[in-house]
Structure 1
Amino acid sequence: MTELTRKLQFSLEIDGDWPPISSEAVWCDLVGASFQLRNAPFFIKGLAVNDIFEAEPDPVNGHIFEFQVTEPSDHSLIWILNNTQVDADPILAQLRDIGCSTEGLQRFSLYAVDVPPHVPDQELNTLLDTAESTGLDLAFPVWRRS
Structure 2
Amino acid sequence: MTAVSRKLQFAIDTDGDWPPISSEAVWCDQIGNAFRLRNAPFFIKGLAVNDVFEAQPDSVNEHIFEFVVTEPSAHSLIWMLNNTEAEIDPILSKFREVGCSTEALERFALYAIDVPPYVTDSILNDLIDTAEKVGLDLAFPVWRRA
TM-score range normalised by the length of the shorter chain: over 0.9
Contact 1:98 1:120 in 2 (8 A): no
1:17 positional shift: 1.2
Relative to the length of structure 2, the TM-score reads 0.97
Superposed CA offset, 1:2-22 (max 9, x none): 870000000000011111000
Superposed CA offset, 1:39-78 (max 9, x none): 0000000000000000000000000000000000000000
Consecutive unaligned residues of structure 2, counting only runs of 5 or more, are none
Which amino acid is the alignment partner of residue 51 of structure 1? D
2:95 counterpart residue number = 95
> In the aligned structure 2, how far is the partner of 1:119 from the partner of 1:21?
31
User: Number of aligned pairs?
Assistant: 145
Moved over 4 A (4+): none
Contact 2:81 2:111 in 1 (8 A): yes
The alignment yields a C-alpha RMSD, in angstroms, of 1.0
* SS of structure 1 residue aligned to 2:64: coil
* SS of structure 2 residue aligned to 1:73: coil
Map 1:36-115 to 2 at 5 A: 36-115=36-115
> In the aligned structure 2, how far is the partner of 1:95 from the partner of 1:17?
29
* SS of structure 2 residue aligned to 1:145: coil
1:85 positional shift: 2.5
> In the aligned structure 1, how far is the partner of 2:131 from the partner of 2:48?
21
* SS of structure 2 residue aligned to 1:44: coil
Contact 1:11 1:22 in 2 (8 A): yes
1:31 positional shift: 1.1
* SS of structure 2 residue aligned to 1:53: strand
* SS of structure 2 residue aligned to 1:59: coil
Cα pair distance change 1:104/1:55, threshold 3 Å: same
Map 1:119-138 to 2 at 5 A: 119-138=119-138
* SS of structure 2 residue aligned to 1:104: strand
Relative to the length of structure 1, the TM-score reads 0.97
